[in-house]
Amino acid sequence: MSLEFKSPYIREEHVMFRQAAKEFVDAEIRPRAMAHNRDAKIERVLLDKMAEMGFMGMAIPEEYGGAGADPITFAILGEEIARACASTAVVMGAHGGIGTYGLVMDGSEAIKQKYLPKLATAESVGCFCLTEPQAGSDAANIKTRAVRDGDDWILNGEKIWITNGDIADVMTVFAVTDPALGARGGVTAFVVERGPGVISGPKEHKMGLAGSGTTTVTFENVRVPNENVLGTVGLGFLTAMKILDKGRLFLGAAALGMAKEAYDMALNHSVQRQQFGKPIAEFQAVQFYLAEMATRIYAMEQMVYHAAWLMEQGESVTMEGSMIKLFCTEHASWVINHALQIHGGMGYSAELPIERMFRDARIFEIFEGTNEIQKVVIARELLKDKKKELARV
Partner 1 sequence: MDIVVCIKQVPEALSVGLDRDTGYVRRGEAKGVANLADRQALELALALKTAAGGKVIALSMGPTGADQALRQALAVGADEAYLVSDNALAGSDTAVTAQVLARAIERLPDIGLVFAGEASADGATGQLPPRLAEALSFPLVVGACSARLDGTQLEALRNGEWTRENVAVSCPAVVSVSLDAPKPRIPNAMGVMKAAKKPLIVWDLTQLNLSPEDVGQSGSCTRIVRAYKPEKRAKGEVLTGDAETLVQALLERLARKNLIEV
Contact 79, 254 (CB under 8 A): yes
Q: Which is nearer to partner 1, 67 or 304 (CB)?
A: 67
Scanning 14-22, 183-191, 193-201, 280-288 for contacts with partner 1 by CB under 8 A, the matching segment is: 14-22
- In the complex, least distance from residue 78 CB atom to partner 1, rounded to whole angstroms: 13
Scanning 5-13, 205-213, 230-238, 286-294 for contacts with partner 1 by CB under 8 A, the matching segment is: 5-13
236-272 helix and 284-312 helix, angle to the nearest 10 degrees: 150
- In the complex, least distance from residue 50 CB atom to partner 1, rounded to whole angstroms: 10
- List the interface residues with partner 1, window 35-74 (CB under 8 A): 52-55, 58, 62, 67-69, 73
**17 forms part of the interface with partner 1 (CB under 8 A):** yes
Q: Using CA atoms, how far apart are residues 346 and 350, in angstroms rounded to an integer? A: 8
Q: Which is nearer to partner 1, 95 or 325 (CB)?
A: 95
Q: Which is nearer to partner 1, 95 or 362 (CB)?
A: 95
Scanning 12-20, 86-94, 232-240, 312-320 for contacts with partner 1 by CB under 8 A, the matching segment is: 12-20
**27 forms part of the interface with partner 1 (CB under 8 A):** yes
Q: Which is nearer to partner 1, 51 or 259 (CB)?
A: 51
Instruction: Find the catalytic residue in 368, 372, 381, 389.
Output: 368
- In the complex, least distance from residue 20 CB atom to partner 1, rounded to whole angstroms: 5
- List the interface residues with partner 1, window 331-360 (CB under 8 A): none
Residues 6 or more apart whose Cβ sits within 8 Å of residue 270: 279, 280, 281, 286, 290, 342
Contact 369, 325 (CB under 8 A): yes
- In the complex, least distance from residue 273 CB atom to partner 1, rounded to whole angstroms: 21
Q: Is 369 left (phi over 0), alpha (psi -120 to 50) or beta?
A: left
- In the complex, least distance from residue 65 CB atom to partner 1, rounded to whole angstroms: 9
Q: Using CA atoms, how far apart are residues 42 and 55, in angstroms rounded to an integer? A: 15
Q: Using CA atoms, how far apart are residues 198 and 160, in angstroms rounded to an integer? A: 13
Q: Which is nearer to partner 1, 62 or 372 (CB)?
A: 62
Tell me phi and psi for residue 226, to 5 degrees: -60, -30
- List the interface residues with partner 1, window 278-317 (CB under 8 A): none
Beta strand pairing status for 187-193 and 229-230? antiparallel
Q: Which of 29, 33, 75, 77 binds partner 1 (CB under 8 A)?
A: 77
H-type alpha helices, the chain: 12-24, 33-39, 44-52, 71-84, 86-92, 101-106, 109-120, 236-272, 284-312, 318-343, 345-348, 354-362, 371-392
- In the complex, least distance from residue 43 CB atom to partner 1, rounded to whole angstroms: 19
Q: Using CA atoms, how far apart are residues 293 and 208, in angstroms rounded to an integer? A: 22
Q: Which is nearer to partner 1, 80 or 320 (CB)?
A: 80
**20 forms part of the interface with partner 1 (CB under 8 A):** yes
Q: Which is nearer to partner 1, 62 or 227 (CB)?
A: 62
Q: Using CA atoms, how far apart are residues 88 and 210, in angstroms rounded to an integer? A: 10
- In the complex, least distance from residue 14 CB atom to partner 1, rounded to whole angstroms: 9
Q: Which of 19, 221, 232, 349 binds partner 1 (CB under 8 A)?
A: 19
Write out the DSSP string of 353-379.
THHHHHHHHHGGGTSSS-HHHHHHHHH
Residue 193: strand, helix, or coil: strand
What is the total count of residues that contact partner 1 (CB under 8 A)? 23
Q: Does 368 participate in catalysis according to the annotation? A: yes
Q: Using CA atoms, how far apart are residues 148 and 141, in angstroms rounded to an integer? A: 20
Point out the residues that are catalytic: 368
Chain contacts with partner 1 (rule: CB under 8 A): 1, 11-13, 15-17, 19-20, 23-24, 27, 52-55, 58, 62, 67-69, 73, 77
